[in-house]
Structure 1
Amino acid sequence: MRRRVLLLVAATTTLVLVAFLAPLALLVRNVAVDRAVQGATVEAQALTSLVATTDRQTLELAVDQVNATSDYEVTVFLDGIQLGFPAERSPLVALAEGGTSESAEVPGGREIVFAVDRPSAPAVIRSFVPDAELSAGVPRAWLLLGGLGVGLLLVSLVVADRLARTFVRSTVDLAAVSHRLGRGELEARADLSAPGELGVVAAALNGLASRIAEALREERETIADLSHRVRTPLTTLRMEAESLPEPDAERIVAGVEAVNRAVTEVIQQARRRAGAEQAVTDAAAVVRARVEFWSVLAEDTDRELTVHIQPGPLPVALGSADLEACVDALLGNVFAHTPHGTAFAVRLAAVPGGVELVVADAGPGLPAGPVLERGVSGSGSSGLGLDIVRRAAERTGGSVRLGPGPGGGLAVVVTFLAAP
């Protein structure tokens, strides 16, 4: 923006200076020519009375004296002879002998002739102005005009640069505040003293930031309220599960505790300040623990489970609760969308730059539709499972791919970037 403003001002100022200085330069040149011609004319006309009244000897002395002190070449054509500066009898001299005074451009300068009436025969006074005299002072004047133009251009650029800096600085400040808000620094505010419309944009941005902060505060309060409502029935369910015979009681209590931990993590994540330090989790330990938890249900539903987990640590840039939710969503989909007895496999291994988690089953395969979109499901569920997986992967800079599994079912490949 700053460069464009400077280019615009430079172009505009240059056009104005050219429109102003070009005619002025021509005027200076014309004035110099007129001054030289007028000087030569005055000197020649001063000899007119002498040519008409004095004798030849006196006239010759007068012409020599004029040539000695003048910048011009003065010649008098009289009775077939020349007095003063030697010169050829040009067509303009012949015209003046007929009684016509005239001036014209000739090679090397300008020739001026005056016809003088005499009783015996007409005389001609010729004055020659060289090109050097016609342009005397013009180069210096043009140089001054050029310097003036350059100076005015520099001044305009300096003024434009200062103004552009003000606009650019305000624009950069607005962009910086926007980036800070994007990173979750909701206390960032723009400077309202920005010039013109930028001040209006700054005020609107500050209002938006305040509204976002208020919305997030209300969301955190709502989540906190919901947590208390959920924990009450969870406590009741836990107490009832403990009264069941073993080993059912142990398994159900473990499930209730897992739900309770998930609710607690949601609350803590909602209250956590944005921009906090990125969590780092050992993916091998988390995946191994969740697979062990789901392996009991796999045994109860006659599902063959194949596990290949590379020994850790395999650090990923994701919180443990988020990674647990991701693994639970993948394994939960296997149990929810494939019939009993369907085999599935879990593989976790390090790949260049990160970790790859693969959950493949031998079920009916991928349902039709954009199943990775939030709230979209091909089998009547909430449609949040794969969206949780996608968001967890993208939070680390990774990705999710869906494709056919080795057994003809569905294979979900999740890539997590390694923690720095």
Structure 2
Amino acid sequence: MRRRIVMLTVLSAVLAISLFGIPLAAGVAHYYMADERSELTRFATEATVTVSAAQLSGRDPTELPSTEPGVQLAVYDHAGRRIGGRGPAVADAAVRGALHGVPANGQDGSDLVVTVPVANNEHVTGAIRAAAGKMFVYRRVARNWLLMLAVACAAVLITGLLARRQARRLARPLEEMSAMAERLGDGDFSVRARPSGIPEIDSTGASLSTTAERLGDLLARERAFSADASHQLRTPLTGLRLQLESLLDAPGNTRVEEISQAMAEADRLQRTIDDLLALARDVPRHKEPLDLDGLLEEARKTWHADLAGKGRPLRVRIAPDLPTTDASTAAARQILHVLIENAIRHGAGTVTVDVRDAGDALAIDVSDQGPGIDSPPDDLFRRRTVTAGHGIGLAMARRLAEAEGGRLRLARPSPPTFTLLLPGA
């Protein structure tokens, strides 16, 4: 941003100086050319005063007034012959015009030429020719152009320095707000914008600070609610498990299998509550590679009994050389459980979990041999959507996947196959 501000300011200054300087440079060149012609006219006019009729007739030697270096004066008689000074021996077009009473100024090759008639008793008796090289004028113009160029460069340099200072003043608070927004996105709600002295930026910074404060308060309330909810949920679960253990140890108990299964369900519910509360609190965690083997083994133990009771096998296939991922184990476990549970409740036949390499991601496919899904894929992941049963829990599972930087999608409607993509580490 700083570079763009400086570049735009400098380019604007260069454009403004060019729009002003180019016509000025042309005007300077025109001025010096006109000034030189004016000087030549002055020298020629002064010479007409000093030249007498006797000199024009050749009776007296011709003496011309002194001039600046580089200026040539010549005197011509009425016949167009040079009788003094330096110039063409025979009258040129400008001199002939002056001999007819018409002063002239123009160019003769590389010289500027001015001619003035010499009159005696209202009769033209001769002419004065003044000439100077244009190179002398060009040198004067070049010196002034160099001076103008130096001033323009100094102006551009000063403009660039001022623009750099102003860009730093403008960009610093914006860069700080960008870093502040990034920290806010990472969960740091203590960020506050410092005053910059620029009303518009300070107003935006104040709004961002207010937003951070409100989000911090909201998160604090949600965490307090999570703690209360955790206590309210864990207490009855703990009591339920104690009662199940008492029933399991009771003499003459004939329902050991049912009670053990209920205890396993209570443990799974407890683990689900812990995972969801941890995810809801967004507790910072150390990035560790996902224990894929442990995750799949836990899923096999959790769902084997349910599937076996319905005569449906659970097949887990793991491809070799899989990429690692540092996705949250809690999130991956909940997503996988949602997908397997949907396959059990709403599918048919074998439930297959395929783990494969998807390039820069780890892919987990969960499929069954059911009739398929007729509803549009987007409807499956809408909150509280239940279309042929397949929508249950998928909205939450997709949100968990996206929170880990992954994706959850319906890869194939028939047989139904859901794919979880977790980014590689």
TM-score class normalised by the smaller sequence: 0.7 to 0.9
Q: Given residue 367 of structure 2, which amino acid in structure 1 is its aligned partner?
A: A
Query: Which moves more between the two structures, 148-157 or 237-246?
Result: 237-246
Q: CA deviation at 1:251?
A: 1.3
Which whole-Å CA distance do the structure 2 matches of 1:114 and 1:388 have between them? 106
- Could you say which residue in structure 2 is the equivalent of 1:360? 367
**1:105-134, CA deviations, whole angstroms, 9 ceiling, x for partnerless residues?**
132322222322069982323322332344
Match status 1:78 vs 2:77: yes
**1:191-232, CA deviations, whole angstroms, 9 ceiling, x for partnerless residues?**
332634222211111111111111111111112212222233
Match status 1:148 vs 2:151: yes
Which whole-Å CA distance do the structure 2 matches of 1:121 and 1:298 have between them? 131
Match status 1:177 vs 2:183: no
Distance 1:76 1:294, change over 3 A: closer
Q: CA deviation at 1:295?
A: 1.5
Q: CA deviation at 1:158?
A: 2.1
**1:156-175, CA deviations, whole angstroms, 9 ceiling, x for partnerless residues?**
12212221232233322222
Which whole-Å CA distance do the structure 1 matches of 2:288 and 2:306 have between them? 30
Distance 1:297 1:18, change over 3 A: closer
What are the ranges of 5 or more consecutive residues in structure 1 without an aligned counterpart? none
Which whole-Å CA distance do the structure 1 matches of 2:403 and 2:124 have between them? 113
Equivalent residues of 2:118, 2:124 under 8 A apart: no
Q: CA deviation at 1:58?
A: 7.9
- Could you say which residue in structure 2 is the equivalent of 1:32? 32
Q: CA deviation at 1:259?
A: 1.3
Which whole-Å CA distance do the structure 1 matches of 2:356 and 2:340 have between them? 20
Equivalent residues in 2 for 1:270-309 (5 A)?
Answer: 270-274=280-284, 276-308=285-317
- Could you say which residue in structure 2 is the equivalent of 1:259? 269
Which whole-Å CA distance do the structure 1 matches of 2:179 and 2:256 have between them? 60
Match status 1:412 vs 2:418: yes
Paired residue secondary structure (1:375)? coil
Equivalent residues of 1:284, 1:312 under 8 A apart: no
Equivalent residues of 1:194, 1:202 under 8 A apart: no
Which whole-Å CA distance do the structure 2 matches of 1:106 and 1:311 have between them? 93
Distance 1:7 1:58, change over 3 A: farther
- Could you say which residue in structure 1 is the equivalent of 2:380? 371
Q: Given residue 12 of structure 2, which amino acid in structure 1 is its aligned partner?
A: T
Which whole-Å CA distance do the structure 1 matches of 2:173 and 2:368 have between them? 56
Paired residue secondary structure (2:51)? helix
Which whole-Å CA distance do the structure 2 matches of 1:190 and 1:160 have between them? 24
Q: Given residue 94 of structure 1, which amino acid in structure 2 is its aligned partner?
A: R
Paired residue secondary structure (1:413)? strand
- Could you say which residue in structure 1 is the equivalent of 2:41? 41
Distance 1:159 1:359, change over 3 A: same
- Could you say which residue in structure 1 is the equivalent of 2:328? 319
Distance 1:133 1:401, change over 3 A: closer
Paired residue secondary structure (1:358)? strand
Identity %: 23
Q: Given residue 40 of structure 2, which amino acid in structure 1 is its aligned partner?
A: A
Paired residue secondary structure (1:204)? helix
TM-score, normalised via structure 1 length: 0.83
